[in-house]
Amino acid sequence: MSNPFSHPEDSDLHLSIQENLKQLSAQLGSPLDESSVMEIYQDACDLLSHLSPSPLTLARVAGTLLVYRVNDTELEESKWFSSQVKQCLDDEEVEELIESISRTDAL
Q: Render the burial of 16-33: b for 16+ CB within 10 Å, e for the rest.
A: ebbeebbebbeeeeeebe
Task: Round to whole Å and give the CA distance between 2 and 106.
Answer: 37
pLDDT digits (tens, 9 = 90+) for 55-85: 999 999 999 999 999 988 889 999 999 999 9
Closest CA to 18 of 72, 55, 47: 55
Report yes or no: 22 and 66 within 8 Å, Cβ to Cβ.
Answer: no
Q: What is the pLDDT of residue 76?
A: 93
Task: Round to whole Å and give the CA distance between 22 and 10.
Answer: 19
| 107 residues of the chain, pLDDT tens digit each | 334 444 445 788 889 999 999 999 999 999 999 999 999 999 999 999 999 999 999 999 999 999 999 988 889 999 999 999 999 999 999 999 999 987 654 44
Model confidence, pTM:
0.84
Task: Round to whole Å and give the CA distance between 85 and 98.
Answer: 9
